[in-house]
Structure 1
């Protein structure tokens, strides 16, 4: 199994980081990756909570729950598994001068993007394609920039979607209780 995962990583990191490389994509991916970062993800969720209608506020609280729980899991896994980032291991990788201090597995940006995208898609199905395309671009950007292996991104996708589904189908009543206590419902 480990050998198959390595082949998967090698194949897709070669395609995405090396063969797709283009000066226009360099700019797009460098900027797109920030859509999954802590600042953008947190601001998006807070904006939904603070200035949205009552339904949008509830979606914001649900997204906040999914984002918070998924990121706690991400950071715990990073510390437990301590997987070095690809740019520290693989020679001749396009790195874009990024130097991160934490570990690689799973991708926190991808997890954040997919937890928010899934929450929005579950509540506003008309936006599903848009939010998932953005989340996929964030995931691909992490590989393109050489900061994650494809398996890091795949794990982030699964973790983000899984956390949002658990919140939506099993913990939503707690979100509504919180919303009532905050006067948001």
Structure 2
């Protein structure tokens, strides 16, 4: 099997998985939960959380959290925008199904910016608040999955977004937090 056939097969699996997760007959509670999770990854929550921790914390270690998140986004955003333009993958709601439950902010789907951001923040929060690691990654996974359920991303988009975000979060931690 040559490389072209492998990529075609992967795209077919990705499309089939999308069609399994994005279902017009999904229960209302699932659409509502997906919408809420997706909105929690829009960016406002990150600013609020970092501002509150910086403002309220007297712990010097926690004072590094907002700086680390900011640096993580300074690293991640250019990678995200470069990848979006380079891959230029059309969103599933524009090529595979007739509509999505939300209107995406741009026309390309790969990588998922919501997934990248959520996993970047989850990685950093897990370093500072280890006891809640399960919560941070459950939330980030929910944000990522919501983007497929709402019809604006393929599963591969959210996986690649999660890898980009996690990598940028780890790099930011390595650069800011003393060992």
Distance in 2 of aligned mates of 1:110 and 1:97:
16
Runs (4+) of structure 1 exceeding 4 A deviation are none
1:70 lines up with 2:76 in the alignment: yes
Q: TM-score, normalised by structure 2?
A: 0.86
Distance 1:14 1:128, change over 3 A: same
- How far apart are residue 40 of structure 1 and its match? 2.3
- Cα gap change, 1:103 to 1:41, in 2 (>3 Å): farther
Q: Which residue of 1 aligns with 2:97?
A: 91
Deviation of 1:19 after TM superposition, in Å, equals 7.8
Equivalenced residue count is 172
Q: Secondary structure at the match of 2:23?
A: helix
Corresponding residue of 1:180: none
Pick the aligned partner of 1:110 from 102, 109, 115. Answer: 115
TM-score by length of 1: 0.84
Distance (Å, rounded) in 2 between the aligned partners of 1:89 and 1:102: 11
Whether 1:6 and 2:11 are equivalent positions in the alignment is: yes
1:121: how far off? 0.8
Within 2, Cα distance between the matches of 1:97 and 1:128? 29
Q: Contact between 1:36 and 1:138, CA under 8 Å: does it hold in 2?
A: yes
State how far apart, in whole Å, the 2-side matches of 1:99 and 1:135 are: 19
Q: What value does the CA root-mean-square deviation take over the aligned residues?
A: 2.0
* Aligned position for 1:79: 85
Q: Name structure 1 gaps, 5 residues minimum.
A: 177-185
Give the CA deviation at 1:82. Answer: 1.5
- Measure, in 2, the Cα distance between the counterparts of 1:92 and 1:103: 16
